[in-house]
Structure 1
């Protein structure tokens, strides 16, 4: 985030003595109470001060998430599925949405996280807000839509794999840049932003461009083949993006062509996104793990940096429910990056979190902690192999 020299002085004083008021701060700084009050207001707007009493934001790096928030309904068939017929099964409901899930995972990992998403003025919207806040996410900037809160209904087979899902995301689909006026000020207090393709391509482009202008890490989550297809035009080389996190089908949608699932085919397709302004392309390959393609931006010292490719294995796990695995991967990756890890270590962290998520019946594990992930993150698992591009 960008702070003035005076703002940094004020933050340092408040970290040492949290009970100082504006008058006391002015005396320490040799300034006026009115001038200090302006600085305090700016620090609150930037998200450095939290609420009244000048409580300073934790030094842990923070994330802004812009995307979908819905109520989920999941139905798992108890027997081998019979298409076109009624199947016995079990149904559950929970709060969900790609952006919201990513935000909850981040908050449970200890990354201060702000969610900007559209919800209706209805019971479902209040439920989404309350449950997400209870998980530690800052939901003060949710946008109230004239449409009802989104819903997502998923049908899983007897092994927990997704058969089909239907989403009513009109509240998110109709979210406009004009309704997101708070985003630039939130970016001033953020270290990374994640935007998912549930919002319109216009909003995706605007958020990623604002992140680049603010010097904030920008991560794009494609969500689905349909959403990735709509968002593909955003990646035309005009907006620099830190990371894009597609699966194989979403990668094909983003580049507008079939992608061979073998390593060479994925590397070739990732290269297309690199040419369109994406620095890191992290491709999910299911039980085969993931492929991370890295094309550092040219600098004066290194005008033609070498592209690198890493294969990250999928740790062994038992599948209870695959819902939310991709969201967990993205959250784990971003959390690890902001903890100071390199992109390869961040991909390994995200891969482990995905394995832990599919082993749980919950879309976001309620017992998720950094210690839980660390206990399963060993030098040998998941393994990483470097390949030439």
Structure 2
């Protein structure tokens, strides 16, 4: 199965705040917030949801096709991904804009405050996914990206009859109900986290049953509680999280989960085993600082799965 992963490609600026972010918020002053955080550390890492997912797939022996827009400053980043096995031929390089920037502050409880500057990502809607699909792509994950690009990519998949997976994630807050409904309708899989699950229902105007009637499988990540897999007319599957050796940085954990899940899907595994593979990769990402710092190999994966889900 050849997988194309569309979405953001970014440089991450990851900072740690030693106290609790929530303690800095005054309940009676939330109408006027002015906060500055003196952070303990700054890590500059390569990221973006599409690149993060492609990275995880490449670690597991796949050759994913990365689809997104970047600036000229992407050259070294792209070379690193290509060396790992990511196909970057469909990445558009902007002549005028820098690669997107993600700035995130995390506290010891895993709470985060983040900002995202799209930069070259605003040109992603100029990518012709229909042409990319003619290269023999079987499955497309439509990840968080410029909203116009997300809609164009979804339409291209429908027109070509190619299986697509909807992963609107961070863009749910920006998208209106009509756009969300168009992105979700007919998706083979829909990915959300627990908060996004509720937000999608609220903004789409659909009930849970109506969403399940429009997608093949709805996967919701639940943090330390694992993940939930739902299908119309079938019992809900609750899959526990894989234990993490350490908790270093939650950024990109959801992307690692998606990479593991997609790897299982490519191998023809059932939803529980796909979710377990996703959880194992998520636990590896959680123990590393940065979204593309964890390591795993196809040969090591069976033992990691057996250890996490023994019995």
TM-score by length of 1: 0.69
Q: Measure, in 2, the Cα distance between the counterparts of 1:280 and 1:206.
A: 22
Can you list the C-alpha shifts for 1:259-290, whole angstroms capped at 9, x where unaligned? xxxxxxxxx95423123x21111011111111
| Pair 1:339–1:273, CA change in 2 (3 A) | same
State whether residues 66 and 116 of structure 1, in contact with CA within 8 Å, keep that contact through their aligned partners in structure 2: yes
Matches of residues 181-220 of structure 1 in structure 2 within 5 Å? 181-186=128-133, 188-200=135-147, 202-220=148-166
Cα deviation for residue 380 of structure 1 reads: 6.8
Can you list the C-alpha shifts for 1:335-368, whole angstroms capped at 9, x where unaligned? 1111121222111211221112111223124422
Q: Does 1:343 align with 2:289?
A: no
| Pair 1:79–1:380, CA change in 2 (3 A) | closer
Equivalent in the alignment of 1:96:
47
Matches of residues 348-387 of structure 1 in structure 2 within 5 Å? 348-378=276-306, 381=309
Q: Measure, in 2, the Cα distance between the counterparts of 1:194 and 1:237.
A: 11
Equivalent in the alignment of 1:316:
243
Q: Measure, in 2, the Cα distance between the counterparts of 1:117 and 1:231.
A: 24
| Pair 1:311–1:143, CA change in 2 (3 A) | same
Cα deviation for residue 376 of structure 1 reads: 1.9
Can you list the C-alpha shifts for 1:20-55, whole angstroms capped at 9, x where unaligned? xxxxxxxxxxxxxxxxxxxxxxxxxxxxxxxxxxxx
Equivalent in the alignment of 1:70:
10
| Pair 1:246–1:73, CA change in 2 (3 A) | same
Q: Measure, in 2, the Cα distance between the counterparts of 1:382 and 1:196.
A: 32
Equivalent in the alignment of 1:4:
none
Equivalent in the alignment of 1:283:
220
State whether residues 244 and 281 of structure 1, in contact with CA within 8 Å, keep that contact through their aligned partners in structure 2: yes
Unaligned segments of structure 1, at least 5 residues: 1-60, 259-267, 296-305, 384-389
Which of 1 and 2 has higher RCO (CA within 8 Å, sep 6+)?
Answer: 2
Pick one of 258, 274, 277 that aligns with 2:212: 274
Cα deviation for residue 246 of structure 1 reads: 0.3
Secondary structure of 1:241's counterpart equals coil
Secondary structure of 1:347's counterpart equals helix
After superposition, the CA RMSD in angstroms is: 2.8
TM-score by length of 2: 0.85
Aligned residues: 298
Equivalent in the alignment of 2:31:
none
Give the structure with higher Rg (CA): 1
Q: Does 1:326 align with 2:254?
A: yes
Equivalent in the alignment of 2:102:
152
Q: Measure, in 1, the Cα distance between the counterparts of 2:249 and 2:140.
A: 27
Q: Measure, in 2, the Cα distance between the counterparts of 1:359 and 1:232.
A: 38
Equivalent in the alignment of 1:235:
181
Equivalent in the alignment of 1:48:
none
Q: Measure, in 2, the Cα distance between the counterparts of 1:380 and 1:88.
A: 34
Cα deviation for residue 173 of structure 1 reads: 3.2
Q: Measure, in 2, the Cα distance between the counterparts of 1:315 and 1:256.
A: 30
